[in-house]
């Protein structure tokens, strides 16, 4: 009886799978001291890897994604580089066009407390050249360039080699354009517009703002926000400024989101109307004015929370929002870290995008703090960011917990109680290199890589919902790269319960675009936009992910088969017993007859 019970128990575990949300062990194993700094698929196996900082922020290491536990683990030998100074940012990208992922690392020297001039706090930038399976750590005394503050990753000249934008040591706005020679990048000044001093920390972004499929630049300055439109001939042309939100004492990191699910990128900015953020708000810039979404930060017990902003602290030194569709209804949700006071524990919360009943400055959507959505993770979380651990299109969450002195990563599994549909899409640089070794694919197939993280593409879809309404959504890939913005290298669109095909999916970059029609939901799509100027030749690789319903059906079917086998076995055994008995009776009868 015992083995049968065991089988049934296992089956029920598969069917009514565990709703445990804390998957730290499954996700990280014992490596929980790596602070997430950036995402990218370093080894080109289609599983996203995490760039983490260890050793008090002086070592950068790549935790490779796996499809078995632990889902993120150290490579053997470890993919890591050590620095003498504190690492401030990590920017993955292909900086030499060999189709393999490299990454930029910025470090900063702590300046003496009595020195307020920026001259002593140069940022040193190093490029770590990647070889697919190994790293070429650069020497600490040989940074490739110096700058002030952190850079923004973009592709200045649309050659799929990643370039950088920032402030040079003389205080000028500068592009650093990389080529295939792995030498010092070409310096190009940004000219033809305002020269206002840039905000530090900044929330610069590289994305298509005016819907021409050419990525533009959004720049945060000390006075206002600037928009520079991308153009084929002159690269970037100054367009206009957006005023800072009026009366805001603190301005957090802006993000671009399709808040109302109308296929429009809105500028969303967290602000505080007082110095210590007891009076926090989430604003959206639309039609020339700032709208207050009137987010209610008051808990049911009357505690009023505000954005956490603590100078010099990991992750909370700026107000950062991390975006993704948590409940797969199509509307982008937000993860933010809040606090009750400057001395209380901080806590990261889900801000769910919900319909606005009244108010919200005329906006049809607002955000509602879900106080318990990330249970059991509560006190002391300083950062939360979306990550798809199981490659199933459902965004889970990586959190960082701070217990007095220690920082520790934990993982939260998002268990939706319904079968939501999605589309997951990643646009690669499309570069390939015949000199590269073939890479082991996940299904044992060897293949060449098609490049890596690409900032700037715009991704949108149009479809008709089950209710017959048309729906248009838009997203930008990797628009930001500095100050732990932790953008994922792919886009996930939640489609709600709509199991229909998506009518049109559009990918646009470098002034070109391509439509794909009738896309099946629950597929993961990788777009290879090569050659850039001939969209008809752009390729898309599809990976279909079986939905939960199918998996449950398979499990149920297996269960039924198992049950039938057991019944057959039992009946068979009974029949044999009966036969035996009959034979015995027969033989008895025979003896009796013979007598």
Q: Is 333 a residue that touches Ca ion (CB under 5 A)?
A: yes
Q: Which of 325, 339, 388, 401 binds Ca ion (CB under 5 A)?
A: 325
Beta carbon nearer to Ca ion, 9 or 418: 418
Beta carbon nearer to Ca ion, 69 or 274: 69
User: Could you tell me the smallest distance in angstroms from the CB atom of residue 367 to Ca ion?
Assistant: 10
Beta carbon nearer to Ca ion, 165 or 213: 165
570 membership: H or E segment, kind and range: helix 548-594
The pattern of x and - marking residues 59 through 98 that bind Ca ion according to CB under 5 A reads ------x----------------------------x-x-x
User: Could you tell me the smallest distance in angstroms from the CB atom of residue 338 to Ca ion?
Assistant: 19
User: Could you tell me the smallest distance in angstroms from the CB atom of residue 39 to Ca ion?
Assistant: 10
The dihedral through the CA atoms of 108, 111, 116, 118 has a sign that is negative
User: Could you tell me the smallest distance in angstroms from the CB atom of residue 218 to Ca ion?
Assistant: 19
The dihedral through the CA atoms of 569, 572, 576, 578 has a sign that is positive
Question: In the range 24-63, which residues lie near Ca ion by CB under 5 A?
Answer: 41, 43, 45, 47, 49
Cα 444 to Cα 225: distance, rounded to the nearest angstrom: 49
For 60, residues 6+ apart whose C-beta sits below 8 A from its C-beta are: 37, 51, 52, 53, 54, 80, 81, 83, 87, 90, 103, 105, 128
The pattern of x and - marking residues 349 through 368 that bind Ca ion according to CB under 5 A reads ----x---------------
- Please report where in the chains the tokens 């610069």 appear, as a residue: 204
Question: In the range 99-118, which residues lie near Ca ion by CB under 5 A?
Answer: 100, 102
Cα 119 to Cα 104: distance, rounded to the nearest angstrom: 22
User: Could you tell me the smallest distance in angstroms from the CB atom of residue 181 to Ca ion?
Assistant: 12
- Please report where in the chains the tokens 């700037």 appear, as a residue: 456
Cβ-contact 346, 382 below 8 angstroms: yes
End-to-end CA distance of the chain: 44
Beta carbon nearer to Ca ion, 383 or 492: 492
Cβ-contact 513, 535 below 8 angstroms: yes
Beta carbon nearer to Ca ion, 402 or 429: 429
How distant is the alpha carbon of residue 54 from its chain centre? 20
Q: Is 388 a residue that touches Ca ion (CB under 5 A)?
A: no
How far is CA 371 from each of CA 292, 374, 377, 414, rounded to the nearest angstrom? 21, 8, 11, 15
The pattern of x and - marking residues 135 through 164 that bind Ca ion according to CB under 5 A reads --------------------x-x-x-x-x-
CB atoms closer than 10 angstroms to residue 493:
27
User: Could you tell me the smallest distance in angstroms from the CB atom of residue 47 to Ca ion?
Assistant: 4
Burial of 444 (0-12, 13-18, 19+ CB in 10 A): exposed
User: Could you tell me the smallest distance in angstroms from the CB atom of residue 177 to Ca ion?
Assistant: 6
User: Could you tell me the smallest distance in angstroms from the CB atom of residue 270 to Ca ion?
Assistant: 18
# of chain residues touching Ca ion (CB under 5 A): 22
Bridge partners (DSSP) listed for residue 385: 398
Q: Is 260 a residue that touches Ca ion (CB under 5 A)?
A: no
Beta carbon nearer to Ca ion, 441 or 569: 441
Cβ-contact 522, 542 below 8 angstroms: no
The dihedral through the CA atoms of 351, 355, 359, 364 has a sign that is positive
Beta carbon nearer to Ca ion, 182 or 548: 182
User: Could you tell me the smallest distance in angstroms from the CB atom of residue 156 to Ca ion?
Assistant: 5
Residues that bind Ca ion (CB under 5 A): 41, 43, 45, 47, 49, 65, 94, 96, 98, 100, 102, 155, 157, 159, 161, 163, 325, 327, 329, 331, 333, 353
């Amino acid at each position: 009886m015992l083995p049968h019970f065991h089988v049934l128990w296992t089956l029920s575990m598969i069917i009514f799978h565990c709703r445990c949300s804390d998957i730290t062990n499954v996700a990280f194993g014992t490596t929980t001291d790596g602070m997430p700094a950036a995402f990218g698929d370093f080894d080109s196996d289609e599983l996203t890897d995490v760039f983490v900082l260890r050793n008090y922020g002086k070592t950068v290491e790549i935790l490779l994604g796996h499809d078995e536990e632990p889902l993120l683990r150290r490579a053997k030998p470890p993919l890591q580089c050590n620095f003498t100074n504190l690492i401030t940012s990590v920017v993955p990208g292909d900086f030499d066009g060999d189709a393999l992922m490299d990454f930029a690392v910025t470090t900063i020297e702590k300046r003496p407390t009595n020195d307020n001039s920026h001259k002593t706090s140069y940022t040193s930038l190093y490029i770590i050249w990647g070889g697919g399976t190994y790293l070429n750590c650069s020497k600490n005394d040989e940074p490739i360039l110096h700058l002030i503050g952190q850079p923004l990753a973009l592709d200045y000249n649309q050659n799929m080699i990643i370039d950088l934008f920032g402030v040079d040591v003389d205080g000028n706005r500068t592009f650093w354009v990389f080529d295939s020679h792995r030498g010092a990048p070409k310096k190009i000044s940004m000219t033809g517009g305002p020269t206002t001093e840039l905000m530090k920390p900044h929330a610069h972004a590289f994305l298509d703002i005016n819907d021409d499929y050419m990525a533009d630049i959004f720049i945060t300055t000390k006075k206002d926000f600037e928009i520079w439109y991308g153009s084929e001939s002159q690269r970037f042309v100054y367009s206009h400024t957006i005023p800072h939100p009026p009366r805001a004492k603190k301005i957090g990191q802006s993000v671009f989101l399709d808040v109302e699910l109308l296929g429009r990128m809105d500028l969303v900015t967290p602000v505080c109307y007082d110095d210590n953020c007891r009076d926090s708000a989430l604003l959206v810039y639309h039609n020339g004015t700032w709208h207050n979404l009137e987010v209610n930060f008051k808990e049911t017990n009357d505690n009023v929370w505000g954005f956490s902003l603590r100078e010099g602290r990991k992750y909370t030194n700026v107000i950062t929002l991390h975006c993704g569709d948590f409940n797969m209804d199509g509307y982008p949700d937000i993860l933010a870290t809040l606090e009750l006071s400057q001395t209380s524990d901080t806590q990261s919360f889900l801000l769910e995008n919900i319909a606005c009943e009244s108010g919200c400055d005329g906006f049809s959507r607002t955000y509602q703090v879900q106080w318990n959505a990330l249970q059991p993770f509560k006190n002391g979380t300083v950062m939360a960011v979306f990550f798809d651990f199981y490659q199933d299109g459902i965004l889970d969450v990586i959190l960082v917990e701070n217990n007095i002195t220690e920082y520790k990563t934990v993982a939260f599994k998002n268990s939706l109680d319904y079968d939501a549909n999605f589309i997951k899409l990643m646009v690669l640089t499309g570069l390939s290199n015949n000199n590269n070794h073939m890479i082991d694919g996940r299904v044992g197939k060897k293949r060449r890589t098609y490049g890596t993280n690409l900032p700037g593409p715009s991704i949108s879809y149009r479809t008709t919902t089950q209710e017959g309404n048309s729906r248009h959504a838009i997203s930008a890939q990797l628009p930001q790269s500095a100050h732990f913005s932790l953008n994922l290298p792919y886009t996930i669109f939640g489609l709600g319960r709509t199991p229909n095909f998506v009518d049109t999916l559009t990918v646009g970059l470098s002034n070109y675009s391509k439509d794909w029609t009738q896309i099946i939901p629950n597929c993961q799509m990788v777009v290879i936009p090569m050659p850039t100027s001939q969209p008809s030749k752009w390729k898309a690789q599809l990976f279909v992910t079986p939905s939960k319903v199918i998996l449950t059906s398979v499990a149920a079917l297996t269960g039924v088969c198992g049950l039938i086998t057991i019944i057959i076995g039992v009946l068979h055994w009974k029949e044999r017993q009966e036969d035996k008995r009959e034979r015995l009776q027969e033989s008895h009868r025979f003896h009796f007859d013979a007598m």
